[in-house]
Amino acid sequence: MLAGGAPMAKGCVGPSAWLLAPLGVALALLAAAPEAAASDTTAPSITDLRPEEGAFVNASALGPGGLARPFIHATIADDSVPESLNVTAQVLWVADLSTAALLTAELSPSRPGALEVGAFAALKDGEYRLVVEAVDSAGNPARAEHNFTVDTKAPRLTASAPAVSPDAAATLLVDARDEGSGLALPLTVSYRSACASTWSPVTLEVTPLPGRAVGQASLALCEGTNNQFSVTARDRAGNTAQVLQRKIAYDTHAPGFTSFSPGPFERVDDTHPTLEVWVTDNAVGVNRSSVEAQVSTDGGTTWGPWRPATVGSNGSYVRASLRANFTAGATGAVRWRASDLAGNGPSESSSQYFYLNGPPFVVHFEPAEGAQIFENSTVRLVAEFADPDADFVEATVYSDIDGPLGRADGRRVQLSPGVHTLTLQGDDGHGHVVTYAFQVEVVSRLPPDLRPLILTLVIAGSMVWAAFAAWTRDGEGEGSLPAKS
């Protein structure tokens, strides 16, 4: 009997043409040897059953369609000719003994005079029984069976440990389950701390349960983010599940601060500057939502509230910024605080002081306010500024009558007659431009007054005449010649 137990003629053991002898030939053989059949009391032998008793078929046998394709094998031999054997080979579900696969016996190519079952059967996961039965021409029966399990699914494995630990040791929890062939203990854990370069096994305390195993292990951590563990679970079929190189960070230090902008005691031109700092953390990274800044507009005498800073993302090296408002010439200050993702902190930076660039102011200008200048004369333009930041101030003058007059650097200019509004402008080159207005008047020159000159000439002439007269008078009395007779 072959292929599902269907009755076959004696000697029909496979699809080979030479085995399919006519029924008449088979009957003739039986009629010719009735005595030999009656004397045969030895049952056929069934050997080399595969899979072996209690064997497992795992995911390595998976084929198309997600089904396992294990190789099913058996060898059937008898002291009679193989053509006289009736063979039935099938794979049964253990649960209800229903047929999962039917197999065919053929002449063995490697063992003359024997039949062989050899084929790949497409099977789902489950428990099976391979049953091979043979009956020879004398009616001697033989039966062999092996139980095996098909399990192509790996165990379900979870391994949990804190991603960040505030303590020097972390607890690893492992939960493995397998609904097929069952777990093969022990579960294995490998560990490498942030201070080590090699992996080492770790003892896992396991509690076995039906179809499940749970366990825990203590991992000694080293400062840093590269504490790593791997967990492996196997089932009895040889399927493997792994949790690979999970990391645990151990961090005991709060973040630090560096690269402040503005720098210490730096002068800032903008009264609405963006304050910046780099926040660093040696292990788990900065918690972006914890970064805050506090600003003082009077050099640290009073402080405003803590305000959230703008941070792009979490990380071990992040840039934080805050836009603040100040008045020109003020002394500003800022301080920062932040925590890391391990909960360390908040740490606070030192106060950083800086100056806001102030505007210049004039201390001296020529010509002075209200000055009168004669027409056709020149006037000297001079301006002196003071600047709180010691910036160089460029001073220029503009007349509402004559237009631009140039720099107030001591140059002399001639102004048109009239009342001038001179606009003095000072620019410190850092965004501060100040202006001042002065009025001066240019007047026409009056004709010269000759009266003082005439009076002087009259007085001088009188004095000369008087002197001459006196001299003449004196000469007549003392030095005159005698008169002629």
405-415, pLDDT tens digit by residue? Answer: 999 999 999 99
Residues 439 and 377 in one domain: yes
pLDDT class for 4, splitting at 50, 70, 90?
very low
Q: Is residue 462 part of a domain?
A: no
Residues 128 and 60 in one domain: yes
**Using one digit for the tens of pLDDT, what is the confidence trace for 343-393?**
889 999 999 999 999 899 999 999 999 999 998 899 999 999 998 888 899
Determine the pLDDT at residue 360: 92
How much is the average pLDDT of 435-449? Answer: 86
Give Cα 485 distance to the centre of its chain.
148
Determine the pLDDT at residue 236: 94
Lowest mean pLDDT among 102-111, 415-424, 447-456, 462-471: 447-456
Residues 295 and 322 in one domain: yes
Q: Is residue 438 part of a domain?
A: yes
Determine the pLDDT at residue 238: 95
Q: Please say whether the beta carbons of 425 and 352 come within 8 A.
A: no
Distance CA 70, CA 50 (A): 9
Determine the pLDDT at residue 476: 60
Lowest mean pLDDT among 16-20, 41-45, 281-285, 299-303: 16-20
Distance CA 227, CA 247 (A): 5
Q: Please say whether the beta carbons of 177 and 214 come within 8 A.
A: no
Range of the domain at 260: 256-356
- Our count of domains for the chain comes to 4
Residues 277 and 237 in one domain: no
Burial of 30 (0-12, 13-18, 19+ CB in 10 A): middle
- pLDDT > 90? residue 133: yes
Angle at 386 between CA 382 and CA 388, to 5 degrees: 160
Give the pTM: 0.56
- pLDDT > 80? residue 8: no
Give yes or no for a cis peptide into 186 (omega within 30° of 0): yes
**Using one digit for the tens of pLDDT, what is the confidence trace for 49-77?**
999 999 999 999 999 889 999 999 999 99
- pLDDT > 60? residue 16: no
What is the phi/psi pair of residue 187, to 5°? Answer: -80, 145
Of 221, 137, 112, the residue nearest 172 (C-alpha) = 221
Distance CA 117, CA 48 (A): 10
Q: Which of 231, 250, 269 is where one domain is finished? A: 250
Give yes or no for a cis peptide into 51 (omega within 30° of 0): yes
Of 241, 189, 239, 307, the residue nearest 60 (C-alpha) = 239
Determine the pLDDT at residue 165: 86
Residues 121 and 31 in one domain: yes
Distance CA 164, CA 84 (A): 75
Q: Is residue 26 part of a domain?
A: yes
**Using one digit for the tens of pLDDT, what is the confidence trace for 206-235?**
999 999 999 999 999 998 888 999 999 999
Residues 171 and 246 in one domain: yes
Alpha helices by DSSP H, listed for 86-244, are none
Determine the pLDDT at residue 475: 63
- Residue 166 belongs to what H/E stretch? none
Q: Please say whether the beta carbons of 333 and 299 come within 8 A.
A: yes
How much is the average pLDDT of 237-255? Answer: 92
- Residue 462 belongs to what H/E stretch? helix 451-478
Q: Please say whether the beta carbons of 387 and 394 come within 8 A.
A: no
Distance CA 107, CA 100 (A): 24
Q: Is residue 406 part of a domain?
A: yes
Residues 260 and 189 in one domain: no
Query: Which residue shows structure tokens 């200050």?
Result: 333
Determine the pLDDT at residue 17: 32
Q: What is the CATH number of the domain that holds 430?
A: 2.60.40.10
Mean model confidence pLDDT for the chain: 87
Residues 41 and 86 in one domain: yes
pLDDT class for 329, splitting at 50, 70, 90?
confident
Strand 372-374 and strand 433-443: the pairing is: parallel
**Using one digit for the tens of pLDDT, what is the confidence trace for 424-437?**
999 998 888 999 99
Percent of the chain topping pLDDT 90? 66
Distance CA 243, CA 246 (A): 7
What b/e string do you get for 379-398 counting C-beta neighbours within 10 Å, with b at 16 or more? Answer: bebebebebbbebebbbbbb
How much is the average pLDDT of 166-192? Answer: 94
Determine the pLDDT at residue 446: 67
